[in-house]
Structure 1
Amino acid sequence: MFRYVHTNIIAKNANKLIDFYKTVFHCESINETRDLRGAWLDGLTGLSDAHITGEHLLLPGYNKEHPTLEIFSYDSLKETVPAEINRPGIAHIAFEVDDVEATLKEIIRAGGSSVGELVTAAYPDGLEAVFVYAKDPEGNIIELQSWRKGKD
């Protein structure tokens, strides 16, 4: 069996970031909190005395069986490298929303920021997409998108 299960974000302040994703993106608690430590976690992570706390949040538009956004924090964090849209590795997570501009304003009100400009792009079959990149309060990049029939 293959199925997508979750995306993980390591946060400086897991509770604050969890609140952000609940407020702005309507992610839901599903009573999957974690307080993990032990030899198995040290072996898995390659760290000594690893301790992870956080929560799995149900992503909007899905049932309670996944996928989730897993927001964790380690007791000991490495220095961060700023997220860049063109840095190799996972660049962003994306949410389809009803109103890209209104959601961007909500992100900024909740402590996030914008990355580039809001753009509209024409796609085949008369579709149009509105896009913008933003950052959550800890600098992780988020893509907002909204799709509609194009103007003829």
Structure 2
Amino acid sequence: MSKVKYSHTNLITTDWKKIAKFYIDVFGCIPVGPVRKLSGQRVADGTGLVEPEIEGIHLRLPGYEEDGPTLEVFQYHTIRDETEKFANSRGYTHIAFEVSDLDSVCAKVISAGGWLLGKLARQPVAGVGVCTFVYVRDPDRNIIEVQEWEAV
């Protein structure tokens, strides 16, 4: 059987530097590797796009070692706008970060150009603990769940 290891999640934006800075400043993501500037036939073959041009960076997610998964923040020269996602939209809708100070992180989200979608809620999860969480949006309107856990 083939070995499988989670690698990254891709986030497409119209301003990769701005969105990368948001995730670095708010969640402590760490830039890894060089800035990617990708184009040409191989990229076209792999993506199924005609003449794609991509620029962006990988950000190591907090809480992982050097070989941990990354958030790939990319900007295509040509971007296709789609309908905005909501918490109950079909498909991938959000990423989540577990934090130790929910109020502080929510304040950072707002000061960095994001906003709260809801309000703080406490949800007991049997056998796990109590999760205090809220959904927020980054400056590009992507949904992020910010959560803080306490044992019961």
Q: TM-score range by the shorter chain?
A: over 0.9
1:124 aligned residue (113, 121, 126): 126
Aligned residue type for 1:53: E
8-17 or 113-122, larger mean C-alpha shift: 113-122
* Cα deviation 1:92-114 (Å, max 9, x = unaligned): 00000011122111101100011
2:90 aligned residue (88, 91, 100): 88
Q: What residue number does 1:48 align with?
A: 50
Q: Distance in 2 between matches of 1:66 and 1:130?
A: 26
Q: What residue number does 2:6 align with?
A: 4
2:66 aligned residue (54, 64, 67): 64
Which structure 1 residue ranges, 5 or more long, are not aligned?
none
Secondary structure of 1:70 counterpart: strand
> Structure 2 length normalisation: TM-score?
0.94
Cα RMSD over matched residues?
Answer: 1.2
Which structure 2 residue ranges, 5 or more long, are not aligned?
none
Q: Distance in 1 between matches of 2:36 and 2:128?
A: 45
Secondary structure of 2:92 counterpart: coil
68-77 or 79-88, larger mean C-alpha shift: 79-88
Q: What residue number does 2:99 align with?
A: 97
Q: Distance in 1 between matches of 2:127 and 2:42?
A: 51
Secondary structure of 1:44 counterpart: helix
Q: Distance in 1 between matches of 2:91 and 2:125?
A: 26
> Structure 1 length normalisation: TM-score?
0.94
User: Where in structure 1 do 4 or more consecutive aligned residues deviate above 6 Å?
Assistant: none
C-alpha deviation, 1:54, in angstroms: 0.3
Aligned residue type for 2:135: Y
C-alpha deviation, 1:51, in angstroms: 0.5
Q: Percent identity?
A: 38
Equivalent residue pairs, number: 150
Q: What residue number does 1:140 align with?
A: 142
2:33 aligned residue (24, 28, 31): 31
